[in-house]
Structure 1
Amino acid sequence: MRLRNTIIVLVLFAIVGGYAFVVSHYSETEATKKLLAVKQDDIAKIELKYSDRDIVLERDQGKPWRLVKPVGADADQAQANNLARAIAEGVLVRTVDDKPADLAPFGLKPPTTTVIVTTFDHKAVPAIEVGKSTPIGFNTYVRLANSPAVLLTEGAFSSGMNKTVNDLRVRDLMAFKLDDVQKLTIARDNGETVEIDRDGDNWKIVKPAPAPADDTAVRMALGTLVNARASDFVADAPGNVNQYGLEKPHLAATVVLKNGEQQSMLFGFKQNEQGKSGIYVRRGERAPVYAVAEYVMTSLDKSPLDFRDKTIVKVDPETVETVKVKNGDGEFTIKRAPVGKWDVIVGGKTSEGDTPVVERMLNQFRDLKGESIVADPMPSAQPFGLDNPALEITLIGKDGKDLSTVKLAKISVKPTAPPIPGEPPQRTEYYATSSGSKAVYALSSFSFEQLNKPAPLYMAKAPEPPPPSK
């Protein structure tokens, strides 16, 4: 009996499975109907006609899109391609009325948008008239120019065709690769100019005075320029740029590429239109006036010290034989011992050093950097607490000569303005200077605390006694 039931179940499974295979194999999914029989890659020209404006985009075969009306300008390729794709993939949901008596109820008298497409082979393609959206169903009424019928397409089609010229214009203002830049110049309206030249894989400041540059700061400035995008298109052919502060710009940033090409961005006044907070800019080589976000200018409006290399001291740990430390607890010495070990000497008493802790400290001096250069030369040590430093570290080489002495200070500063509720009444600042430079650097609290350790923390820990036997 059980065997017979099993056989019946297997036969039923075979029948159902076979039927499913036949249906799936021989059935064809009904193809989605399109509004137009056109492929995206075949579209050479798109005209968008509205009640208050006409926009025309076109391209040559294999070439980028460009705006030709109402202004001649480079087009945003992603936006233009999305528009062409939306037209080519517009879906015919169904026919609403083959011969409507009145087009007004569908928002087609007149249409909100008329879309005219031209293909590279000039194949006849009917224009699409776009009406209003349906009350329910999130569809849109449309009509093809070669038929009286009112059709339905997907609701996203309407919004996809509703464009302004600014939606379709390219917003990138400068185009270069960071590795192709040979020179960066930032000139202020007060006459101060910073010129930074590529020096192999690094950068160097040429003006106002030769100095190594902070590669990160330079790359950030170049990144700001190449990534700057127009937030507003102000004037394509301004008769006078004085009103934008661009006759004598506050700031001019110029890059010179390895091939000699030069690109500039000029920064003028802040936008004065209500609700807008951008900065007027123009390309030094082009006429149009744009606006960019305010941070673009503030990111570039830097002093020579901002672009300076902020290395306080650079020492190879392998060359250090002795470290002399003075801090609030007194003085102690860390001295290299045989077999890769270190000794810590306090008050004439020698203890074995904690090698990993000592080596971590020395590795900080491999390339100790400040957060910024506050002044160079330092006008006076007293305002920075460096006349009586909290910490002084002298590194001595294997030849007995001083490699560098670094002084670090920690001071409390009262704010000049009334404190913000909830904020501490004063803040702590950290500064550093070294024997190899006349500059004073702002230091992070982390760097200060990592170096400001008392002698016992550099000493090897005594092994813990074994637990008592039971």
Structure 2
Amino acid sequence: MKFKGTITLTIAFIGIVLYYFLIDVPTAEQKKEDKIRSEKVLLFEPGDVDTFSIIKNKISITLKRSSTSEWQMTAPVNAKGDTAAASTYLSFLNNLSFTRVVDDSPKDLSIFGLNTPTLKISFSMKNGGTQGIRVGDDHPMGSKIYLARSDENTVLSATVARNNLDRSVYDLRDKTILSFETSKVTKLECTRDEKTLVLEKVEASWKLSEEKNSAKGSENEISNFLNSIRAARIKEFVEEHPEQLASYGLDNPKLILKVISAKASDPLTLLIGKKGENGFYAKILSGKNVFIIEQSLFNTLNNSRLVDFADKSLVNFSDDEVARLNLRMDDEAIHLIRDEKDLQKWTIEKPVNAQASTATVNSLLFDLKDTRIVEFVKTFVTNPEPFGFDPPEKKLTLTYKDGKTWSLILGNQTSSGEHYFARRTGEEVVFTLKRSSMETIFRSLNDLKDKTLLEFNKDEVRQIKILKPEQTFVLKKFEKEWNLTLPEKLDAVPDFIANDILWTLNSLEFESALSTDPGDIITGLGQPRLAVELLDKKDRVLAHMMVGGAVVKSPDLYYIQTTSNPTIYTVNKRILSEIPGNINKFKVQSKSE
């Protein structure tokens, strides 16, 4: 019995819950929605409106829908409507509610200012129906206004200000000056003071020109410029059908702007004339009406210089495209050529024939691409001497695989000494570059040389011999394990000890190369302080080097020689401490201890 009672209660509870969610809640929501609708001044959907008019003192401002989202003003002038303003206005009226019914059958509408209202709003719907409201006097209690629907005399009061119901021709008229898509613009011409600044898109990049000046344009700067023009709005409409343009200075414009877009038959042309009290008079060449633009737009167009749009990246290229690199500085010319088969290999052709340091050349090219122009100084140079370009102090030339070249020339340093005056291929523009940046690019011959002393494949090494005057150490690799065999036997020496030795030798670079051998007495190579020999599994020598004595005038440098090259070099003394020379170095770290 208790079980049956529980089931009954559960069913009853489920029923109550279902009733609440399926009937009670929807009913409450419906009642809430019905209440909102009943308090609306006008019941309509903004998308169903075909035409709406605002009538003030018998003057009508009328807009007719020309498409789903666009409006055309038909009175008092024929002009494109402001789509956003029209949509916002209709949405506002759609949400307008009254607070109470003041009088449902008034005997005298003049009491409320509704017999001859100074403001009326009317709609024509797509289905042919009409709606509207009359706007009367302000409520004596303030913050309210009297209203009446067009088709009845019931007086309503609504909490709304008159200016929220009113709109001017300017409010509802399209105020766009030039309509275009920034991404589709291919050319822009701005003429002022008889000089024309041209921004032209050639394939994927922008080219700048003004008189004899030219430069590469910045995509970002030009896009920002076009967007500022596109966003500009008419400040005031002056005259729809002027009989003459001279009084506005538009017969001989102060400034002419042309915007040319892809596939457009004619350019958009803006003429700017005299300055009036509220801004500059202007008109579109293909239009008739005269309007006023903001001072800020005129300043943007009039004050823009070629250098404002110039690309501040020094040069763009793909590393693999570069075939040759030439540097000239301090009356020294360095020519480097890239191996056609091995793109990671560079050779110095001039002033000596030598292997170049791949890491250094790659670093140079990276720094070159990463360099940014600090400031554009002058757009055209008639006399290059003050900047130090005749002749230049330094010059860099890239030759690409397709045979094309690009050059950078550096002139004098600026008065602060922190920058160089510079110029690049095909441009008259003078700009400044950081001296510190140039120092990482214009490398010396010594810096560009491959200074690696030993070349070997560390995976082939099976034996490391370290010879010092007082003792010899021999490390042998058995399968994957390194063992010390001399001066005493130590099994399973940690891998990192042998790996550190091999890494040190593989990355060992000389500081300088001697043109002649000064002899064993000076170099100490007859009785070296340190010798290292690497052998493979067949006991063939892979690499061998000897470190002699210190350089007398440079005690931090020691003489060094390899068996693969008779040249004697100098190397930093740290090599002596990086190669283990004490049995304890192996004993302490050995697993057998």
Which TM-score applies when normalising by structure 1?
Answer: 0.70
Separation in 1 of the partners of 2:345 and 2:439? Answer: 21
**Quick check: 1:378–1:439 contact (8 Å CA) kept in 2?**
no
Separation in 1 of the partners of 2:369 and 2:398? Answer: 12
The correspondence for 2:70, drawn from 22, 42, 64, is 64
Is 1:231 the counterpart of 2:231? The answer is no
Q: CA deviation at 1:174?
A: 1.9
Task: Give the AA of the match of 1:299.
Answer: T
**Quick check: 2:135–2:145 contact (8 Å CA) kept in 1?**
no
Are residues 101 and 412 of structure 1, via their aligned partners in 2, closer, same or farther at CA, if it must alter by over 3 Å?
A: farther
Q: CA deviation at 1:317?
A: 3.8
Separation in 1 of the partners of 2:363 and 2:99? Answer: 69
1:141 alignment counterpart: 146
Is 1:39 the counterpart of 2:45? The answer is yes
1:313-328 to structure 2, matched below 5 A, reads: 317-318=319-320, 319=322, 324=327
2:283 alignment counterpart: 282
The correspondence for 1:406, drawn from 404, 409, 424, is 409
Are residues 342 and 103 of structure 1, via their aligned partners in 2, closer, same or farther at CA, if it must alter by over 3 Å?
A: farther
Aligned residues: 436
Is 1:151 the counterpart of 2:156? The answer is yes
2:293 alignment counterpart: 292
1:20 alignment counterpart: 20
1:379 alignment counterpart: 383
2:498 alignment counterpart: none
**Quick check: 1:238–1:288 contact (8 Å CA) kept in 2?**
yes
**Quick check: 1:195–1:208 contact (8 Å CA) kept in 2?**
no
Q: 3-state SS of the aligned residue for 2:414? A: strand
Separation in 2 of the partners of 1:63 and 1:438? Answer: 48
Separation in 2 of the partners of 1:441 and 1:322? Answer: 23
Q: CA deviation at 1:151?
A: 1.2
Separation in 2 of the partners of 1:92 and 1:28? Answer: 21
2:431 alignment counterpart: 442
Task: Give the AA of the match of 1:375.
Answer: T
The correspondence for 1:245, drawn from 249, 263, 267, is 249
Are residues 334 and 293 of structure 1, via their aligned partners in 2, closer, same or farther at CA, if it must alter by over 3 Å?
A: farther
1:45-444 to structure 2, matched below 5 A, reads: 45-51=51-57, 53-59=59-65, 64-100=70-106, 108=114, 111=117, 113-132=119-138, 135=141, 140-155=145-160, 158-178=162-182, 180-188=184-192, 190-195=193-198, 198-204=201-207, 208=211, 213-214=216-217, 216=219, 218-257=222-261, 258-273=263-278, 278-301=279-302, 302=304, 317-318=319-320, 319=322, 324=327, 340=344, 355=359, 359=362, 361-366=364-369, 370=373, 371-372=375-376, 374-377=378-381, 379-382=383-386, 384=387, 404-407=407-410, 410-412=413-415, 431-434=421-424, 436-437=425-426, 439-443=428-432
**Quick check: 2:215–2:310 contact (8 Å CA) kept in 1?**
yes
Q: 3-state SS of the aligned residue for 2:188? A: strand
Q: 3-state SS of the aligned residue for 2:131? A: coil
Are residues 358 and 10 of structure 1, via their aligned partners in 2, closer, same or farther at CA, if it must alter by over 3 Å?
A: farther
Separation in 2 of the partners of 1:13 and 1:386? Answer: 95
Task: Give the AA of the match of 1:261.
Answer: D
Separation in 1 of the partners of 2:405 and 2:121? Answer: 78
Structure 1: tracts of 5 or more residues without a match: 1-5, 414-426
Q: CA deviation at 1:36?
A: 2.5
Q: CA deviation at 1:246?
A: 1.4
Separation in 2 of the partners of 1:343 and 1:38? Answer: 81
Are residues 122 and 61 of structure 1, via their aligned partners in 2, closer, same or farther at CA, if it must alter by over 3 Å?
A: farther
Segment drifting more, 360-369 vs 264-273: 360-369
Task: Give the AA of the match of 1:123.
Answer: G
Which TM-score applies when normalising by structure 2?
Answer: 0.58
Structure 1 residues 299-324: Cα deviation after superposition (integer angstroms, max 9, x where no partner): 33445666667775566544366675
RMSD: 5.1
1:419 alignment counterpart: none
Structure 1 residues 265-292: Cα deviation after superposition (integer angstroms, max 9, x where no partner): 011223324xxxx332110111212222
Structure 2: tracts of 5 or more residues without a match: 1-5, 453-503, 508-573, 579-584
Separation in 1 of the partners of 2:44 and 2:371? Answer: 63
Q: CA deviation at 1:293?
A: 2.7
**Quick check: 1:373–1:439 contact (8 Å CA) kept in 2?**
no
Separation in 2 of the partners of 1:218 and 1:41? Answer: 38
Higher gyration radius (CA): 2
Q: CA deviation at 1:57?
A: 1.9
Task: Give the AA of the match of 2:151.
Answer: N
**Quick check: 2:418–2:436 contact (8 Å CA) kept in 1?**
no
Separation in 2 of the partners of 1:402 and 1:193? Answer: 29
